[in-house]
Amino acid sequence: MKIVKKILVVLLIAFVLMQFYRPDKNESAEIPDTDIIVMVSPPEAIKSMLKTSCYDCHSNNTVYPWYNNIAPVSYWLDDHIDHGKGHLDFSEWGTYSAKKKAHKLEELIEMVKADEMPLNSYLWMHGNAKLSEDQVKTLVDWADKLRISYQSEAKLQ
């Protein structure tokens, strides 16, 4: 029983110390000029969907929930955001080539159609981020038109 107590004390100390060493937050007060919303000026419905369902993990403008202030959740969220931005970063849209933009939109279409985005783990706490069938169709149609324009642009380069 003494070993169990020692292990619990060490874990408790580690948990308390973790609270003092948090990852940097992914939040910005501004939307950069390279952001997809600034560059493309999507319709308001698309802009709203992107901000509600995508931007927390795929931009520099994460809106953190209250539970982000508790480690190890803060580390898990930070990893999740880094991973999401590694795949697609709407804040850096303007830095992508036309070919890369077309490819990213193709991936977005596939993931949204397959109901793989937004992630289920995100939807547990962000129910409003769940896209309805109509929203999926609207987003996919918009992304497909934009993808085609970037494919055309890439062929000219």
DSSP line for 60-79: S-----GGGGSTTHHHHHHH
**At 32, phi and psi to the nearest 5?**
-70, 160
pLDDT of residue 51: 92
Which has the higher per-residue pLDDT, 74 or 101? Answer: 101
Which has the higher per-residue pLDDT, 103 or 5? Answer: 103
Query: What's the burial of 112, exposed, middle or buried (CB within 10 Å: 0-12/13-18/19+)?
Result: buried
pLDDT of residue 70: 81
Residue 38 pLDDT exceeds 90 = yes
Total number of domains in the chain: 1
With pLDDT > 90 as the criterion, what percentage of the chain qualifies? 52
Residue 127 pLDDT exceeds 90 = no
Q: Are 129 and 123 in contact (CB under 8 A)?
A: yes
pLDDT of residue 9: 80
- Cα–Cα distance, 85 to 20 (Å, whole number): 25
Please state the pTM of the whole predicted model. 0.82
pLDDT of residue 4: 84
- In the block, tokens 């991973």 appear at 83
pLDDT of residue 5: 86
Average pLDDT in the chain: 88
Residue 112's domain comprises 2-156
Determine the average pLDDT of the residues in 33-61: 94
Tell me the pLDDT tens digit for each residue of 17-31: 777 777 677 677 788
Residue 62 pLDDT exceeds 80 = yes
pLDDT band at 137 (very low <50, low <70, confident <90, very high): very high
